[in-house]
Structure 1
Amino acid sequence: MNKHEFFTLFFEQFGYSNGVRIFFAPGRVNLIGEHTDYNGGYVFPAALTFGTWAAVSARTDGIYRFRSTNFPSGADTNVNELAYKEEDDWANYPKGVLKELIQMAGADQAQLFSGADILFHGNIPNGAGLSSSASIELVTALALSRTAGLKIPIIELVKLGQRAENRFVGVNCGIMDQFAVGMGKQSHAIMLKCDTLEFQYVPVKIDGHKIVITNTNKRRGLAVSKYNERRSECETGLSIIQKQLPNVKSLGDVSYAEWEKVRYAIEDGTIRRRVEHVITENGRVISARKALEENDLDAFGELMNQSHESLRDLYEVTGFELDVLFEEASKAPGCVGTRMTGAGFGGCNVSLVKEESVGNFKQAVAANYTARTGLEPDFYVCEIGDGTKEITEEE
């Protein structure tokens, strides 16, 4: 969608288009490093070129009107009456961000948030696990802070987005999604240590290859309950390890050599498998960075495969559809590596595919996946783009 079309939609929604500014926040894909974020480990996400746009214009009456081209519902709220309402659905995300912005501004600057009309438009597949919620949070945070005249650093908006999802929406997510969406860089992945926020941009040089995301189109009904269950299991495992290694603050601090020495202390087989996944997955992220730096895409692809197998066998968050997709993608033409991405139990798979084979890859995977599951997958051939920003006249 170009800027002129977006201005037209804003006019149709609100009856005017003067004073409108446009902002963008991408979706993200995690290339490797799954379920390590809330365990203080490494992740390896990249921002995508599709995401969420927001057209915004300031008001002076304290009213915020949230609308979307993607959903029929919206929400109007007074700046002094920001409360979670189930009937507001998706609009609770920008409402939560606004509440956090006002708290961050403090009493001296809270009056700067005097109202706004904001129209969202997204092209992230809904429910695919590519961070549509973090995209909405970050585009709202940048749009409303800049409209209020505040130049808050993006890294602070990243933290604010996570707080909004934790406190207002009530999802106990880690920071990876907001960080990748906010801090993304074109043609680079981000190697991020989630507990310290230390990070490094790693060039993704995959000439002759494409990143292909495949949506299972399986609704992720178990994701939230199983996510909370896995977090609890990992916390139990960490508490046992800390009795052996008192200086360890998170599972992300435990090397594989240390794990081999203390694994005997965890008697429960399920807890032991969960911890084994986190520690080995953390090591795979470190190896993946090295593989990319050495331009060894075969090694990178093999690490992707190992990641899925660990998520399937040790962490048990894949499910039938994702496993079928992994099996069919693995044997499809030109596939260098493939794995589930996101929370699991549906959602998406990410594959590294030779460019000349993308058409045959999609055809083979679609036919075989549908034959086995009865579902039709969707494919997205992706580019790695920049993080959250304002769209200026030049763009």
Structure 2
Amino acid sequence: MTAKLVEKFQELFGAEGDIRTYFAPGRVNLIGEHTDYNGGHVFPCALTLGTYGIARKREDNKLRFYSVNFERLGVIESSLEDLKPYKAAEWTNYPKGVMWAFEERGYKLPNGLDILLYGNIPNGSGLSSSASLEVLTGVILKDMFGFDVSMTDIALIGQFSENNFNGCNCGIMDQFASAMGKKDNAIFLDTNTLQYEYAPVVLEDAKIVIINSKVKHSLVDSAYNDRRNECETALKELQEVVAVQTLGDLTEEAFEKHKDAIKSEIRQKRARHAVYENQRTIRAVEALKENRIEEFGKLMNESHRSLRDDYEVSCKEIDILVDLAWETEGVIGSRITGGGFGGCTVSIVKNEAVDGFIKNIGEQYLAKVGHEAEFYVVDIGDGARVLNG
């Protein structure tokens, strides 16, 4: 893989100099959705799918980007003097945003770069191709210029750039999972404190299967920001009657006691999801640690119902996939994963049922929706890293 990418890099940008290779994974979140900006817990794991980068320092301030995934766009040029978001800059707004965020934090970039990228995360799938690209850029800058930043810093810089440069008000989960992933482990992260622990995902008789609905509804960014604003308003209303810093501070009992302080039924539903999903995530991790996989699966199912009914971030195609999974023998649990409005589902499926699961759901989804879904039986991989350098 990387040898071919280096060859392409040399063909485009020349073979001289110190050419280095990098990788940052995508992620799938097993449970804990839309809790990361509400001060709750999440439980993502890094995938072996992700974004590869080939990079070399330049002597000037020029930036040259090329993506194997968007060959038709060719080489996109910019410079360190022009770190601003432009629609015409297409996907390069993500790495440029990270460069801008480094400089905002006092890490001045001394030189420009030539960068070639290739990602095997399907775009718009909800497996965090954007966070993978942001974290990859952070690792490139740390390695190339010797910046004294930790992998947690790189995650936070990636989030800062997406919030303030790209305009999506995301939480920390996606960047944290890409930066801090560990093979065969998910990350139990308290997004309020950034305290985390690795929890082994030992599925002796089962596999994690991701289904890409091949649907991405265009309202995802605006609706995402709407949900965040609704939760922030609900929190302010609750703070009039109970001393909490975040929705994640509330138990289900405390929420039910004080929920009438929230003056809108919609905001009540949004806050209920944030509170209940956080508690579900805590229970799910305990169940996994004690090898109670069936209970973990039931909590995944509850998570989907809450995301569908209270948070309203699902869509017809995703609900079809989840309903089909729930009806399939050998499925332990299934839910939407990612920001919503399309993208992917994640299911835990018993080994002997995987082939039938893919065949049956594939056929029925095609018949119901009119286009095919994509299936990935995934492995949990390590976080972002230098491959050589």
Q: Please state which band the TM-score falls in when normalised by the shorter chain.
A: over 0.9
Structure 2 counterpart SS, 1:387: coil
Partner of residue 335, structure 1: 331
1:266 aligns with 2:267: no
* 1:39/1:278 contact within 8 Å kept: yes
| Correspondence for 2:39 | 40
**Structure 1 position 102 matched with structure 2 position 103:** yes
What runs of 5+ residues in structure 2 fail to find an aligned partner? none
Aligned equivalents of 1:147 and 1:16: distance in 2? Answer: 17
Q: Return the offset for 1:249.
A: 0.8
Contact 1:127–1:220 (CA under 8 A) maintained in structure 2: no
Equivalent-residue separation in structure 2 for 1:194 and 1:163 (angstroms):
15
More deviation, 78-87/276-285: 78-87
Deviations 1:14-57 (A, max 9, x none): 12254111010000001001111111111111100010011111
SS of equivalent to 2:105: helix
Question: Map of 1:14-93 to 2, 5 A cutoff?
Answer: 14-16=13-15, 18-72=17-71, 73=73, 74-93=75-94
Which residue type is aligned with residue 19 of structure 1? D
Distance 1:11 1:81 in 2: 25
TM-score w.r.t. structure 1 length? 0.95
Deviates more, 1:127-136 or 1:232-241: 232-241
The residue aligned with 1:314 is 310
1:149-204 superposed Cα distances (whole Å, 9 cap, x missing partner): 22421111111111111111111111111001101111111111112211111111
SS of the residue aligned with 2:32?
Answer: coil
What secondary structure does 2:31 align onto?
coil
Q: Provide Cα deviations, 1:259-287, integer angstroms capped at 9, x if missing partner.
A: 12112333422221111111111111001
Which residue of the partner structure matches residue 293 of structure 1?
289
SS at match of 1:40: coil
Q: Is the 8 A contact 1:317 1:344 kept in 2?
A: yes
Q: Which residue of 1 aligns with 2:357?
A: 361
Is the CA contact 1:321–1:346 (under 8 Å) kept in the aligned structure 2?
Answer: yes
Tell me the equivalent position of 1:114: 111
| Aligned-partner Cα distance in 2 for 1:355–1:12 | 44
Residue 66 of structure 1: SS of its match in structure 2? Answer: strand
CA deviations 1:261-315 (Å, max 9, x no partner) are 1123334222211111111111110011101100111000000000001111111
With normalisation by structure 2, the TM-score equals: 0.96
What are the within-5 Å matches in structure 2 for residues 179-198 of structure 1? 179-198=176-195
Mapped to 2, the partners of 1:144 and 1:77 lie a distance apart of: 16
CA distance in 1, matches of 2:104, 2:45: 30
The alignment partner of 2:236 has SS state of helix
| One-letter code aligned to 1:237 | A
Q: For residue 304 of structure 2, what is the amino acid of its counterpart?
A: H
> Mapping of 1:83-162 within 5 angstroms?
83-106=84-107, 110=108, 113-162=110-159
Q: Aligned letter for 1:189? A: A
Task: Tell me the SS of whatever aligns to 2:207.
Answer: strand
Distance in structure 1 (CA, Å) of the matches to 2:271 and 2:159: 24
Q: Distance in 2 between matches of 1:99 and 1:184?
A: 25
Deviations 1:119-164 (A, max 9, x none): 1111001100100001001111111221112242111111111111
Higher mean displacement: 344-353 or 271-280? 271-280
| Matched residue, 1:223 | 220
Which segments of 5 or more consecutive residues in structure 1 lack a partner in the other structure?
none
The answer as to 2:171 corresponding to 1:170 is no
Aligned counterparts of 1:71 and 1:21: Cα–Cα separation in 2: 21
Q: How many equivalent residue pairs?
A: 387
Amino acid at match of 2:6: F
Aligned counterpart in structure 1 of residue 387 of structure 2, from 384, 391, 395: 391
Rounded Cα–Cα distance in structure 2 between residues aligned with 1:44 and 1:212: 16
Taking the aligned partners of 1:252 and 1:164, their CA distance within structure 2 comes to 24
Q: Is the 8 A contact 1:42 1:193 kept in 2?
A: yes
Percent pairwise identity = 46
Distance in 2 (alpha carbons) for counterparts of 1:361 and 1:388:
31
Structure 2 counterpart SS, 1:217: strand
The residue aligned with 2:9 is 10
SS in 1 for 2:21: strand
Which range moves more in the overlay, 17-26 or 73-82? 73-82
CA distance in 2, matches of 1:113, 1:104: 14
Give the aligned CA root-mean-square deviation in angstroms. Answer: 1.4
In the aligned structure 2, how far is the partner of 1:237 from the partner of 1:81?
A: 39
User: Helix, strand or coil for the counterpart of 1:386?
Assistant: coil
2:51–2:118 contact (8 Å) kept in structure 1: yes
1:196-217 deviations in whole A, cap 9, x for unaligned? Answer: 2111111111112111000111
CA distance in 2, matches of 1:256, 1:203: 27
